[in-house]
């Protein structure tokens, strides 16, 4: 064999070796090693996608079982320690707040400033602690529900049954007034009746599960049950009425022309995954609303300390027939999270405002917010928006008058320390 032939053989053998190594690298790192054909990326893309800086393939694979078990154990132990710390801190809040107010700050008892400061120092950590625990628990519940699952449950149901299901789903699904509107579009394009869709649209923001948990923690189960029952009733009946009016022609035409693609694959969680989902909910929700919560507590502290009880009772009391519609009119242009409204509700009730009037105010802020109306204008015509606002508004007025007449304000318990 000549030198030239020998050199050719060496080059061919080297090429075969390199091609074999490249194929092995793609099989173990850049594609599934199942023997199925995988489109090979360009060398630069392959290096960026799954190889290190030196071009050596990275071995990417599932975590060993022991590492996964250790991670889950650390998660459970960490959450158990956090729960114990939460219980200890929550139990010591009255004594700690009293020490800060009277010993550390040296404020005199009975003054307006002391009342306002006491409200803020006690309620700020209390509401934030309750909010954190409530959002974590609700986050776990939310891991069982997705937008596609809600849509699938509602599709094909009779309208009356659908209204009830939509109202119930709205209480447990993670959608505020603004994010519920894209769901509205998805439900309409899926063929769900308009009235059923509106029951969901009303229930999702109004019957807020975070507000429900906070109301329970601050006022007891009776007030929380009143809020849940009245909110659900408004959502179900409002959707049913709108469905009976047959106003489909007042939905913008482009909504019906949408053809949504296949639904995303639903995530399936084990219990460690659901706990992590709850922690992520705390980071996302509490991280976004804590400022509004503190602002709400600040407003509540000012009301509690500086607003005369007789003056507020005359404006928002049971005797003033115009207090309920005034509360609704004032509440519609406002925008606040449900969690941010709870301290204001607490202060108003503490100053003698009637429960029905306060509930009407809170529901108007949450369920008929101005940002929601602006977004709805993109998908609904003016007549349908006006009908939606009127129907929900009348429902809120009925709730306000009903609970004022029944004097259910006597059920309210709790309040700031003195």
How does the average pLDDT of the chain come out, rounded? Answer: 73
42-73, pLDDT tens digit by residue?
443 333 433 333 344 434 344 444 567 778 88
Q: Which two three-digit tokens encode residue 329?
A: 């009119």
Three-class secondary structure of residue 104 per DSSP: helix
Mean pLDDT, residues 104-126: 89
Is residue 328 over pLDDT 70? yes
Long-range contacts of 122-125 (CB under 8 A, 24+ apart): 122/93, 122/94, 122/97, 122/416, 122/417, 123/297, 123/300, 123/301, 123/343, 123/346, 123/416, 124/293, 124/294, 124/297, 125/89, 125/93, 125/97
Contacts 24+ apart (CB under 8 A), 94-102: 94/122, 94/417, 97/121, 97/122, 97/125, 97/417, 98/417
Of 332, 359, 340, 141, the closest CA to residue 229 belongs to: 359
Q: Highest mean pLDDT: which of 47-56, 90-99, 325-334?
A: 90-99
Token output for 403: 């609970």
Q: Express as a percent the part of the chain with pLDDT over 70.
A: 67
Taken in order 65, 69, 72, 74, the sign of the CA dihedral is: negative
pLDDT at 230 over 80: yes
342 or 38: which carries more pLDDT confidence?
Answer: 342
pLDDT of residue 241: 92
Band (pLDDT 50/70/90 cuts) for residue 330 is confident
Least confident of 54-63, 243-252, 304-313: 54-63
pLDDT of residue 258: 62
Of the candidates 345, 274, 414, 339, the one whose C-alpha atom is nearest the C-alpha of residue 130 is 339
Q: How confident is the model at residue 337 (pLDDT cuts 50, 70, 90)?
A: low
Q: Report the pLDDT value the prediction gives residue 26, as an integer from 0 to 100.
A: 41
Predicted confidence at residue 60, as pLDDT, reads: 38
Question: What angle separates helix 382-405 from helix 355-367, to the nearest 10 degrees?
Answer: 160
Q: What is the mean pLDDT of residues 162-189?
A: 71
Structure confidence at residue 178 as a pLDDT band (50, 70, 90): low
Who wins on pLDDT, 237 or 313? 237
Tell me which H or E stretch contains 304.
helix 287-306
Out of 51-55, 281-285, 359-363, least confident range: 51-55
Structure tokens at 80: 């158990």
For the ranges 28-42, 234-248, 252-266, the lowest mean pLDDT is seen at 28-42
Q: Which residues does 128 contact at the CB level (< 8 Å), separation at least 6?
A: 286, 290, 293
> What local confidence, expressed as pLDDT, does residue 45 receive?
38
Mean pLDDT is lowest, of 41-50, 68-77, 232-241, 300-309, for 41-50
**Are the beta carbons of 158 and 276 closer than 8 angstroms?**
no
Tell if the pTM clears 0.75, that is, is over it.
Answer: no
Question: At residue 122, does pLDDT exceed 70?
Answer: yes
Tell me the mean pLDDT in the region 8-13.
47
Span 359-370, average pLDDT: 82
pLDDT on residue 80: 93
């Amino acid at each position: 064999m000549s030198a030239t032939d020998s050199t050719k053989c060496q080059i061919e053998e080297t090429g075969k070796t390199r091609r074999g190594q490249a194929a092995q690298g793609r099989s173990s790192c850049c594609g599934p090693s199942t023997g199925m054909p995988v489109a090979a990326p360009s060398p630069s893309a392959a290096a960026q996608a799954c190889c290190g800086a030196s071009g050596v393939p990275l071995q990417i694979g599932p975590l060993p079982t022991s590492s996964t078990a250790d991670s889950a154990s650390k998660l459970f132990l960490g959450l158990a320690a956090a729960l114990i710390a939460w219980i200890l801190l929550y139990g010591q809040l009255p004594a700690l707040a009293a020490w800060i107010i009277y010993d550390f700050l040296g404020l005199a008892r009975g003054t307006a400033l002391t009342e306002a400061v006491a409200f803020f120092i006690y309620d700020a950590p209390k509401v934030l602690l309750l909010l954190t625990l409530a959002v974590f628990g609700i986050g776990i519940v939310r891991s069982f529900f997705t937008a596609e699952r809600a849509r699938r449950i509602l599709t094909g149901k009779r309208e009356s049954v659908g209204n009830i299901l939509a109202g119930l789903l709205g209480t447990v699904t993670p959608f505020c007034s603004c994010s519920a509107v894209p769901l509205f579009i998805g439900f309409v394009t899926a063929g769900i009746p308009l009235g059923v869709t509106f029951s969901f649209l009303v229930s999702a923001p109004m019957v807020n599960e975070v507000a429900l948990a906070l109301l329970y923690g601050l006022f007891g189960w009776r007030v929380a049950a009143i809020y849940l029952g009245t909110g659900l009733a408004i959502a179900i009946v409002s959707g049913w009425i709108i469905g009976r009016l047959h106003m489909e022609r007042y939905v913008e035409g482009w909504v019906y022309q949408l053809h949504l693609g296949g639904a995303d694959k639903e995530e399936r969680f084990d219990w460690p995954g659901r706990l992590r989902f709850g922690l992520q909910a705390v980071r996302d929700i509490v991280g976004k609303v804590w400022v509004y919560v503190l602002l709400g507590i600040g407003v509540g502290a000012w009301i509690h300390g500086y607003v005369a009880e007789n003056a507020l009772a005359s404006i928002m009391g049971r005797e003033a027939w115009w207090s309920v519609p005034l509360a609704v009119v004032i509440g519609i242009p406002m925008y606040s999270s449900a969690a941010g409204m709870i301290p204001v509700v607490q202060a108003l009730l503490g100053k003698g405002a009637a429960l029905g009037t306060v509930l009407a105010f809170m529901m108007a802020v949450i369920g008929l917010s101005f940002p929601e109306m602006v977004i709805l204008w993109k998908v609904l015509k003016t007549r349908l928006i006006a009908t939606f606002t009127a129907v929900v508004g009348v429902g809120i007025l009925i709730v306000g008058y009903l609970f004022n007449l029944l004097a259910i304000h006597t059920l309210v318990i709790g309040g700031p320390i003195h």
